[in-house]
C-alpha cells in the first residue's frame, strides 16, 4: 500500500445503529482492503485502580478514552505500519492483556460514540458520518445489549442510562453531529444511506487509485 488510506468516521449515540452501519459498509468491500476499528477498544487502561474504583468509570465521557493511542495507531496505519489494537475486558473494567494485530489497509472505518468529539481524530477523517436514532429506540437497544451480552440487570441499565448515558449524550455526543458530513437517520435500517455511502467511498477509492 503506497498511498494514504481513506479514513471513515462513524459516530452516534449508544444504540443508534452506528455499529450496524459501520459493519454494513465494511461487508460491502473486500476484507483484504478494509478494516474496522472500534473506539470502545481504546478505553483507558484501569489496571492501576481497584475493582470498586473501576465500577465508577463513566464510559460515556470523552476522558474515558485513550484517544492519544487511537490517534497514534491511525497515524501508524496511514504510514503503512501495523498496530496492536487493545482489547477491553468489560467484566474486569480494564484493558485485557490481549491485543489484535491490525495490518495497514486501504480503507479504515473508525466507529464509536465520541470519535467526532476530538478535533485531532476528525482531522484524520475523509468522511464523517453521524448515525441518528430516537432516544426511545436507543435505550431499548442498549437494554437488550447490556442484558444479553454483558450480564446486566434491567434496573442497573436503566439507572445508568438516566444518571450517566442520557446526560453525557446530550452534553458530548449530540453536539458532534454538526461535524458530520452525512447524518444517517434510522441507523442500520437505512439501506439507501448505506448504499450511497458505499458508492461514495468507491468513488474516492477510484479517484485515489489505491486499489
Whole-Å CA distances, 209 to 57, 94, 120, 127:
44, 41, 26, 17
Q: Is 80 annotated as a binding residue?
A: no
Q: Is 176 annotated as a binding residue?
A: no
Q: Is 200 annotated as a binding residue?
A: no
Q: Is 199 annotated as a binding residue?
A: no
Q: Which residues contact 107 (CB under 8 A, 6 or more apart)?
A: 5, 6, 8, 29, 33, 34, 35, 201, 205
Q: Is 18 annotated as a binding residue?
A: yes
Q: At how many degrees (to 10) do helices 191-208 and 18-27 cross?
A: 50
Q: Is 187 annotated as a binding residue?
A: no
Q: Is 82 annotated as a binding residue?
A: no
Which residues are 83's β-sheet partners?
102
Backbone angles phi, psi at 81, to 5 degrees: -105, 145
Q: Is 188 annotated as a binding residue?
A: no
Residues annotated within a binding site for ATP: 12-19
Residues annotated within a binding site: 12-19
Amino acid at each position: 500500500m503506497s498511498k494514504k488510506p481513506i479514513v471513515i468516521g462513524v459516530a452516534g449515540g449508544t444504540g443508534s445503529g452506528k455499529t450496524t452501519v459501520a459493519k454494513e459498509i465494511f461487508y460491502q468491500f473486500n476484507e483484504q482492503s478494509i478494516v474496522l476499528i472500534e473506539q470502545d477498544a481504546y478505553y483507558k487502561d484501569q489496571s492501576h485502580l481497584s475493582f470498586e474504583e473501576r465500577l465508577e468509570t463513566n464510559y460515556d465521557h470523552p476522558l474515558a478514552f485513550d484517544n492519544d493511542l487511537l490517534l497514534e495507531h491511525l497515524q501508524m496505519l496511514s504510514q503503512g505500519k501495523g498496530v496492536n489494537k487493545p482489547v477491553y475486558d468489560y467484566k474486569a473494567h480494564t484493558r485485557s492483556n490481549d491485543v489484535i494485530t491490525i495490518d495497514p489497509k486501504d480503507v479504515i472505518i473508525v466507529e464509536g460514540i465520541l470519535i467526532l468529539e476530538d478535533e485531532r481524530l476528525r482531522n484524520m477523517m475523509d468522511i464523517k458520518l453521524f448515525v441518528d436514532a430516537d432516544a426511545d429506540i436507543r435505550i431499548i437497544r442498549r437494554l437488550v445489549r447490556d442484558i444479553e451480552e454483558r450480564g446486566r440487570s434491567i434496573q442497573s441499565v436503566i439507572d445508568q442510562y438516566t444518571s450517566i448515558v442520557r446526560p453525557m449524550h446530550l452534553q458530548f455526543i449530540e453536539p458532534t453531529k454538526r461535524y458530520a458530513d452525512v447524518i444517517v437517520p434510522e441507523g442500520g435500517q437505512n439501506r439507501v444511506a448505506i448504499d450511497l455511502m458505499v458508492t461514495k467511498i468507491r468513488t474516492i477509492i477510484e479517484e485515489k487509485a489505491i486499489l
